[in-house]
């Protein structure tokens, strides 16, 4: 993988070319002071002061009794200067106008990634944001965005930099009723579409079995008509969504390998697929027994202990044993 392959997958690079077949997006360059706010772990986690007085979380109820319990007596040596919350008034105003232009609700992402791992902390449990403070909360709470901020080029064979010259915030229009079963990841090798995987692999959707052939035709035609000659890399992946009226929308591009998830494939399988034209391998979860387990726990990664002997290790072991039992005796899972 080369740096140019990674750069092509930045939303600010690919969105202008695919705007007509994607979802509405407004992109803002991040002020460097806001980038420092996202990466600085040496200070307390404070949300920015909103110039609109729009808080991401409900205001704390004033309880004098609790405050008396927490008071520190004078001269104890434990007193510290209170941290001053940051403020980004000009940037907040730009973001507010963009949210309004996109219908009042958006989901955010940086150059490459969205803060999916921090959705648990929002009041809705999703990436839906209606105000600047909610966006700041998701971005500042996300561990996965550290990849964009500090490690985007770590897998490049010609690595010359640790971060791009500028970071960008993409605000994408929020659609409340997009069924997850209609999102797919497409794998391109040698500019040929060699594989397609159901994006949400932790659930069995019977409708996909019924529509598999039709979906394959739609996605292949979309790739040949809209993607193959426009995206310059030889090897890459892209995510699409198929609407109810059978239109295909491109959602994202990602580099081949490295930090990109292969979902129902393995990268070893994909690497072995011939670069010349061959039959497309279209994979979906075919039954409840074929579901790929995932840690969709709605809690931070740091809260999960998955080491041998931990509660999660035992849970996953039991789940695997149950799956094997159901595969041997299908009626047992009925």
Note the pLDDT of residue 275. 64
**Residues with Cβ within 8 Å of residue 231, at least 6 apart in sequence:** 8, 14, 17, 188, 238, 253
The predicted structure's pLDDT at residue 292:
66
| Token duo for residue 268 | 């070893």
| Rounded CA separation 250/223 (Å) | 10
Question: How confident is the prediction along the chain (334 residues), in pLDDT tens digits per residue?
Answer: 899 999 999 999 999 999 999 999 999 999 999 999 999 888 788 888 888 777 665 544 445 555 455 454 455 455 556 678 889 999 999 999 999 999 999 999 999 999 999 999 988 889 999 999 999 999 999 998 988 899 999 999 999 998 999 999 999 999 988 889 999 999 999 999 999 999 999 899 999 999 999 999 999 999 999 999 999 999 999 999 999 999 999 999 999 998 899 999 999 999 988 766 668 999 999 988 767 665 444 444 334 444 455 444 555 566 566 666 656 655 544 4
Q: What's the rounded Cα separation, in Å, for the pair 232 and 137?
A: 35
Distance (Å, whole) CA 72 – CA 67: 10
DSSP β-bridge partners for residue 50: none
Cβ proximity of 172 and 16 under 8 Å: no
Beta strands in 101-177 (DSSP E): 106-109, 168-173
CA-wise closest residue to 292 among 183, 204, 206: 204
Question: In this structure, what DSSP letter does residue 147 have?
Answer: I
Task: Give every CB contact of residue 75 below 8 A, 6+ residues apart in sequence.
Answer: none
- pLDDT reported for residue 119: 92
Dihedral sign of CA atoms 118, 119, 123, 128 in order = positive
φ, ψ at 165 (rounded to 5°): -60, -35
Note whether 117 and 300 are within 8 A (CB).
yes
């Amino acid at each position: 993988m080369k740096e140019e392959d990674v750069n092509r997958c930045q939303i600010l690079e690919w969105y202008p070319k695919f705007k007509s077949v994607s979802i509405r997006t407004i992109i803002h360059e991040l002020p460097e002071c806001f980038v420092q706010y996202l990466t600085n772990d040496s200070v307390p986690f404070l949300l920015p002061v909103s110039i609109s007085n729009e808080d991401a979380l409900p205001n704390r109820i004033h309880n004098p009794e609790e405050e008396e319990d927490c008071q520190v007596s004078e001269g104890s040596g434990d007193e510290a200067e209170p941290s001053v919350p940051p403020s980004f008034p000009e940037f907040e105003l730009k973001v507010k106008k963009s949210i309004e232009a996109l219908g009042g609700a958006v989901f955010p992402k940086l150059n490459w990634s969205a803060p999916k791992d921090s959705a648990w902390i929002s009041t809705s449990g999703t990436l839906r944001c209606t105000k600047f403070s909610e966006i700041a909360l998701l971005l500042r709470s996300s561990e996965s965005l550290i990849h964009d901020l500090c490690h985007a080029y770590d897998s490049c064979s010609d690595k010359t930099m640790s971060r791009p010259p500028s970071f960008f915030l993409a605000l994408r229009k929020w659609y409340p009723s997009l069924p997850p079963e209609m999102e797919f990841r497409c794998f391109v090798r040698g500019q040929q579409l060699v594989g397609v995987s159901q994006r949400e692999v932790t659930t069995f959707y019977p409708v996909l079995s019924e529509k598999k052939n039709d979906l394959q035709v739609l996605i292949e035609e979309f790739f040949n008509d809209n993607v193959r000659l426009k995206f310059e890399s030889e090897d890459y992946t892209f995510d699409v969504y198929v609407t109810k009226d059978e239109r295909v929308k491109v959602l994202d591009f990602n580099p081949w390998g490295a930090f990109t998830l292969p979902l129902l494939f393995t990268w070893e399988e994909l690497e072995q697929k011939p670069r010349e034209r061959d039959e497309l391998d279209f994979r979906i979860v075919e039954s409840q027994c074929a579901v790929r387990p995932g840690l969709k726990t709605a809690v931070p990664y740091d809260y999960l202990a998955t080491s041998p002997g931990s509660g999660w290790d035992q849970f996953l072991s039991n789940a695997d044993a149950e799956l094997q039992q159901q595969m041997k005796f299908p009626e047992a899972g009925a």
